[in-house]
Amino acid sequence: MTAHTPPRFRRPAPPVRTRPLEELPGLGRSLVLSFDDGPDPRYTPGILATLREHGVRAMFFVCGEMAADSPDLLREMAADGHVVANHSWSHPLIPSLSRAGIRDELGRTSDTIARTVGEAPLWYRAPYGAWNRNSFEIGAALGMEPLAWTVDTLDWKEPGTGTIVRRVLDGAAPGVVVLSHDAGGDRSQSVAALRRYLPGLLADGYRVTVPFRT
């Protein structure tokens, strides 16, 4: 894995955030790749293989029900140094839930991740990017920071591999967080696109890394 050591972020403390982080400044000429909705045994292994080939790490925002079905993939993520983060249990629209419902969605997923990889997640992302005050407060109580994204590949629309590649390369900049998906539909374009744009990012002098928190 890369020898670059990114900055460390501390556990959330009052006041609780009122909006998610959308980029990660202070990373130098680095950016973050993130993948939502998995793990999916059809697509996640290909993404992991490409990341491993190039010796870089990424963030995987996993859904609890998917993680429970593929614990080996979670363990593979952790073993490769990737950040395993929380994307709720069943991918609901968070603002439509009660506080108890949000606590169940996030809490069950954190528990599943902790049992599988040995530590609870430090980051979470609301499905659809739909946050509310309750989600910020409950996420913070669970020890997590909210992370959104800077560049949306819109790969879930299956726009074509070349379009996904272009969106990543055009949007690349220091501190950027790129959103892609490794589940939730046919993600073969996402897998193929990563194989094309990752070498391009590295050739352009970017470090592809992940944040760490203390």
Active site amino acids: 36, 181
The answer to whether the beta carbons of residues 137 and 16 sit under 8 Å apart is yes
Q: Which residues contact 170 (CB under 8 A, 6 or more apart)?
A: none
Give, rounded to a whole angstrom, the gap between the first and last alpha carbons of the chain.
Answer: 20
Q: What are the two backbone dihedrals, phi and then psi, of residue 68, each rounded to the nearest 5 degrees?
A: -65, -30
Q: Residue 180 pairs with which residues in a beta bridge?
A: 35
Contacts of 200 (CB under 8 A, 6+ apart): 165, 169
